[in-house]
Structure 1
C-alpha cells in the first residue's frame, strides 16, 4: 500500500488467514492471561516475600513499561522487521517471567514485572500493526471479535486456574504458567511470519520521548497517593504538560513515535486516539473499585464480586462477536458513536446502583459498559488504522493498544484522586466508602461523555469506508 508496508505476507506463504489470526490472538491472549494470573497469585507472593506496600507498584511498573514498549513498536517495526519485532520482546517477556518466579524479594519481582510489561507491550502493539498490514479489511472486525472472546476466557479461567495452582503448588508455579504459551507463540512466529527487510528507520529509539511518556504516567500515579490537594493538582498538571509536550515535540521530530496527527481533533486518527484514551480512562474506575465496593457495601464474597466484574468482559465479547460481521454503511459509523454512549449509561448506572442498592441495576450497568466497548472498539481501531497518512500506518496501528493501556493507567490514578477528594482515605466503613464510590463512578460517566462527543467527529468521517 505504501513504502512502509514492505513485508506483506505473500499469498504463497499464507494461504489461510486463520493461522495468522490465531497467532496474533495468542500474542494478545498472553497479555490478558498474565494480567489475571498475577492479580490472583501476587498476594501470596507478598505474604512470602514481604513488601506489602509495593503490591500496587507491581501493576504500575508493568503497565508503564507496557506503554513505553507499545509506543516504540512502530519505530521498532521499521527498524527490525515483523519477525524480530515479535521474537525479541517475547524473549524479554520470558526473561521477566522467569526472574519474577524465582524472586527472593519484592524488588526482584518488580524488575521481572517491568521486563514482562516491556516485552508484552511491544507484542500487543505489534499484533495491531500486523493485523492492519496482513489481513484484508473484511477480516479485521472478526479478529477483534476473537480478541474479545480471548479476554473473556482469560477473565474467567485465569483467576480460577491461578488460584488452584497457587493453593496446590505455589505462586511461583502460577507465574510460570505463561511459559509454554510464549514458547508456542515464538514457534508460530518463526514458522509463519517472514523475516522482512526492516532497516527503514536508523539509529536508536527516541529514549528521551519514551522516558517522558513513562514519567508522565508515573506522575499521575504518584499524584493519587498525595494527601494535600495542591500537591495532587500540581503533579497532575505537570503530568499533563509532560505528556502533551512529548506529543508536540514528537510531531517536529524526524523519527516519530506517533503519527503526525496524533490526538488532533481535526482528523480521524487523532480523534480516534482520543476515544481510545478516554473510554479506558472512564472505565478504569469500575475495574479498580467495583469488586471492593461489592464486598464491603453489599457483603458479596470474592466469587460473587468477581462474577459481577466479569459481566463486563463477557458483554464485551458477546457484543464484539455479534457485530464482527457488520461491514456495510452506515452501521460502522453508528456503532462507533454508540459505544461511548453505552459507556456513559453504564457508568451512570453503576453510581445509581450504589445509591439505590439494587443489584439488577448494577448488572445492567456492567452489561452496558461491556457492550459499549464491544460494539465500537473494532470499528474504532479499524478507522484509526486505515485513515493513517501514507507511511504512518504502523505508527497509528501500534498506538491503539498503547493508548488503551495509558487510558487504564491514567484512569486508575484519576479514580484514586476522585475517591480521595470525596473523603475516601482507606477507611472501608460503608458511610465513607459508599459516597466516595458514587462520586468516582459519576465522575467517570462525565469523562465518558467526552469520549462520546469526540466520537461524533470520528463517526462523521471515514469509518464506513474503513469497514
Structure 2
C-alpha cells in the first residue's frame, strides 16, 4: 500500500528527525525526544500498574460493596465504554490533533478511578469503571497518533518496544503490591492512589505533544466529526455489552440480548474497520485483522490458565499467577527484537514466527491436565507464547503507522484497538460459553478448588484458541500488498 506523501504544510506537523543533520544519530532518549518519550512511556507504565492491580483488589471491593453478583460488569463496563472512546479519539485526533483526547482521556481515567475508589455501592463502582474505560480508550488511540506524528519512522519500533517493556515490572510487581496495599490500607487505595502519580508524566509530555503533534494534518481535513462513525461506535459498545451479558447467563432468555448484540455489532464492525478486514485483504485490513486474531486468541486462553492451575493441579492463586510472570519479560524481549533495524526487512516473517509460537503455547497449555506432566511445563510454554506476542503486537503497531496517511492515523489506530478489544470479548464469550457448557463450574475467591470443573472444559477453550492462532499465522502472509 502506498502512503500519500504529505504536503509541505503537513511535514511541519509530522516532525522527522532525519530532516536535521543530527537526526540520523537521534534516539528516543536523545535530547530532542527524551521528555516526550519519558512522559508517554510513564503514562503507559501507570496504566499497566492499574490494569494488573485492579484484578487483585476487585474481589475484595465487590464483597465489601455487596456486589459479587455484579462482579463481571465491573470489567465489561470498562470494556464497552473504551470501545466508544477509541472511535471518538480517532475522530478527534485526525481533526484536531491528539492533545485534546489525550488530556481528556487521562482526566477521565483518573476521575473514574476516584469514583470507583470512593464508591459506597456497587452500581457507583461500576459507573466509575465505565468512566475509566472511556478515558482509557481515548488515551491509547491518542498515544498511537502521537507516535505517528512526533517520531520519524525509524524510531517508531523503538518507542513501541518501550511501551511493551512498560508492562514487565507491573505484570510481576503489580498483583503483589496491590495485594499488600489491599491488606494493609484497604482496596480503595489501589484506585485513589494512582491519579496523583499521573501529574509528573503529563507535565513532561504535554508541552512536547503540543509542539510536535498538535493540530490537524492537511488543509482538507474536516473540522467536524463524522456522526455516522460516532453512531457506529455507540452501536459497537452497546452490542459488545449485550453479548457479554448473554455469554454470562446461558439461560434461553439470554438469547434475545445476545441476538440484539450481534445485530448491533455486525454492521458497526463492518463500518468501523477497514474495508476487506473480514476477508483478510492484503495490506492494512490484514494488519488490523491480525491484531484482533492474536490478541483475542492469546488473552482468551490466558484468562483460563490460573483457573486451570488452581482447580486441576491444586496451586494457590499466588503461585498460579506467578507461573505467568516470566511472560512479561519475554513479551518485552519480542518487542525489542522487532525494533532492531536489522530485522525491518523481515518484519512479516517475524509475525509468522510469533503466531506459530502463540499457537504452540496455547496448544501445550492443556497438557498439564495430565498429572504426570510437570506444572512448570506451562510456565515455559507461556514464556515462548509471550515472546511471540511481543513480536506480533508491536509489529502490527509499526505496520499500521507505515500504511496510514498522516490524516488517517487516528481512525486507523482506533480500528486497530477496536479489533483488539472486540476480539477479546467475542472469543472470551465463546470460550466461556464452551467452558460452562462442558461443566467448567465456578470458583469462589476463598476456595482452593472449584466444584464441578471438568478437564474437558479447559480443553474446549485452549484447543480452539490454538486453531485461531494458526489462522493468524496465515494472515501474516498478507500484511503487504503485492
**Same fold by TM-score greater than 0.5:** yes
1:200-240: per-residue Cα shift (whole Å, max 9, x none)? 330475432111111221232123123247955x7666544
Residues 1:2 and 2:25 are matched in the alignment:
no
How large is the Cα RMSD of the aligned pairs?
Answer: 2.6
CA shift at 1:23, angstroms?
2.1
Contact in 1 for aligned 2:86/2:414 (Cα 8 Å)? yes
Distance in 1 separating the partners of 2:337 and 2:439: 41
The 3-state SS of whatever aligns with 1:432 is: coil
TM score, norm. by length of structure 2: 0.86
Residue of structure 1 aligned with 2:264, choices 214, 225, 242: 242
Residues 1:455 and 2:471 are matched in the alignment:
no
Contact in 1 for aligned 2:293/2:423 (Cα 8 Å)? yes
Residues 1:382 and 2:431 are matched in the alignment:
no
CA shift at 1:395, angstroms?
1.5
User: Which deviates the most, 282-291 or 202-211?
Assistant: 202-211
Residue of structure 1 aligned with 2:466, choices 426, 445, 458: 445
Structure 2 unaligned residues grouped into runs of 5+: 21-29, 444-448
Contact in 1 for aligned 2:442/2:453 (Cα 8 Å)? no
Aligned residue number for residue 235 of structure 2 = 212
Distance in 1 separating the partners of 2:241 and 2:232: 14
Distance in 2 separating the partners of 1:10 and 1:288: 40
Residues 1:277 and 2:292 are matched in the alignment:
yes
Distance in 1 separating the partners of 2:94 and 2:144: 15
User: Which deviates the most, 414-423 or 257-266?
Assistant: 257-266
Aligned residue number for residue 346 of structure 2 = 331
Instruction: Name the count of aligned residue pairs.
Output: 452
1:270-300: per-residue Cα shift (whole Å, max 9, x none)? 1111111111211123332111111121111
Contact in 2 for aligned 1:268/1:384 (Cα 8 Å)? no
Residue of structure 1 aligned with 2:175, choices 130, 137, 159: 159
Contact in 2 for aligned 1:99/1:108 (Cα 8 Å)? yes
CA shift at 1:461, angstroms?
3.7
CA shift at 1:176, angstroms?
1.6
Contact in 1 for aligned 2:35/2:205 (Cα 8 Å)? no
Residues 1:394 and 2:416 are matched in the alignment:
no
Distance in 2 separating the partners of 1:288 and 1:182: 28
1:143-201: per-residue Cα shift (whole Å, max 9, x none)? 22212211121111211221121111111111122112322233223322216334833
Distance in 1 separating the partners of 2:375 and 2:441: 26
Distance in 2 separating the partners of 1:359 and 1:304: 11
CA shift at 1:303, angstroms?
2.1
CA shift at 1:6, angstroms?
6.8
Deviation beyond 6 Å, 4+ runs, structure 1: 3-6
Distance in 1 separating the partners of 2:136 and 2:369: 36
The 3-state SS of whatever aligns with 1:244 is: helix
Distance in 1 separating the partners of 2:73 and 2:12: 40
Residue of structure 2 aligned with 1:132, choices 109, 133, 148: 148
Residues 1:200 and 2:204 are matched in the alignment:
no
Aligned residue number for residue 317 of structure 1 = 332
Contact in 2 for aligned 1:67/1:403 (Cα 8 Å)? no
Residue of structure 2 aligned with 1:86, choices 80, 93, 102: 102
Contact in 1 for aligned 2:277/2:285 (Cα 8 Å)? yes
Contact in 1 for aligned 2:438/2:457 (Cα 8 Å)? yes
Distance in 1 separating the partners of 2:226 and 2:11: 21
Structure 1 unaligned residues grouped into runs of 5+: 251-256, 463-467
Distance in 2 separating the partners of 1:6 and 1:410: 41
Aligned residue number for residue 27 of structure 2 = none
